[in-house]
Amino acid sequence: MAEAQDFAGKLYLTERNAEMRTRLLLASALTLGVLLLLSSSATADSMTASFDGGPSANIAFDPGNLRSSASVSVGSFTVNDPPLTPPPFKAFCIDMWHTFQTSFSASLNPLNSSTQLNSILATGYTPNANLANELTYMGTVYNTLASKGQDAVGAVQLAIWALIDQRPPGASGFSFSGADTTMTADFKQIIVALGGTASGTSTSGSATGIGGSTSGTNQTIAGVNVTAYNAASVYSGATIIAINSQGSGSSQNLIEWSSGITITSVTPEPSTMAIAGLGALGMIGYGWKRRKRA
């Protein structure tokens, strides 16, 4: 009788353990399925941008050697994404060929190399090997001139466009007209600080430095000293904000130099999903191994 009771007890425990393992497997599989569903639907928060205003100019540029022109207001954008950390930041246009609407979703891309810009800038546009470093250097220029008024900030935007639209010596490149004399003077001094030359309001670049030089000279711009660009230096901190297409296949791209900018997501980040998913798989594997032993 005692042996029968002992056998019945063991049988009950075996059945209960099998039931618990089955529940564990089902719960783990369900958890993994939910995690995969959430990760597949993760999207970036909506961002907004407002133009800060600035002087106007008639710009001419040459994407793919097709000369284009436009009358534009020149200046920075204030970008915001509650609850973005840090708070609203300044950004500049690096894509003269597209426009964007607000609000928008976007991806953030740390600017590490000029090659990276091949897929961001206009189709068929090949940036020079030094462009990424030149654009990150412009963060130094902007941070120096940010409090010096709209003319100085507008000159930063014009210089960024001049960098983007570099052409071999003698080819048509970026130029502008109709701007006020203060912004024009600031622009010319930024070009010299970059290592280039400015004739009128036109520039012509080559593979190293906007004017063919690997370094510039210190310039006093808007009453403050701007340190010269040097290709041997390593500049960092630039982020490309690639705004998703807003219609008719066009998208806009901005650049900013704030540190620690992140886009928050409405769902956990992919890395979090991966860790949680591995944990769920581990639970399934453990349960399956225990079940086989039983």
Determine the angle formed by the axes of helices 150-164 and 131-145, rounding to 10 degrees: 180
Q: What SS3 class is residue 60? A: strand
Number of domains in the chain: 1
Highest mean pLDDT among 71-85, 112-126, 183-197: 183-197
Q: What is the mean pLDDT of residues 71-75?
A: 92
Identify the residue with better confidence: 169 or 40. Answer: 169
Residue 154 structural domain:
48-256
Q: How many other CB atoms sit within 10 Å of the CB of residue 244? A: 12
Residue 18 lies in a domain: no
Mean pLDDT of the chain: 74
What was the pLDDT predicted at 98?
72
Residue 176 lies in a domain: yes
What was the pLDDT predicted at 276?
47
Residue 286 lies in a domain: no
Residue 7 lies in a domain: no
Task: Give the span between the Cα atoms of 117 and 125, in whole angstroms.
Answer: 9
Residue 284 lies in a domain: no
Residue 185 lies in a domain: yes
Could you tell me which of 253, 216, 6 has the C-alpha nearest to residue 116?
253
Residue 1 lies in a domain: no
- The structure tokens 């979090």 sit at 272
**Sign (positive or negative) of CA dihedral 267, 270, 275, 277:** positive
What was the pLDDT predicted at 83?
62
Residue 219 reports pLDDT greater than 90: yes
Task: Supply the Cα-derived Rg of the chain in whole angstroms.
Answer: 28
Name the pTM for this structure.
Answer: 0.72
Residue 261 reports pLDDT greater than 70: no
What was the pLDDT predicted at 238?
93
Q: What SS3 class is residue 160? A: helix
Question: Cα 86 vs. chain centroid, distance in angstroms?
Answer: 15
What was the pLDDT predicted at 241?
87
| Sequence-separated (6 or more) residues with CB below 8 Å from residue 148 | 221, 222, 223, 224
Residue 21 lies in a domain: no
- Strand boundaries in the chain, DSSP class E: 48-51, 56-61, 68-73, 77-80, 89-93, 106-110, 175-177, 219-221, 224-226, 239-243, 253-256
Q: What is the mean pLDDT of residues 41-48?
A: 58
Task: Give the span between the Cα atoms of 242 and 245, in whole angstroms.
Answer: 9
Q: How many other CB atoms sit within 10 Å of the CB of residue 186? A: 27
pLDDT in tens, 238-259: 998 888 755 444 567 899 997 5
Please give the C-alpha separations between residue 144 and each of 153, 219, 221, 256, in angstroms, as whole numbers.
10, 11, 9, 14
Residue 47 reports pLDDT greater than 70: yes
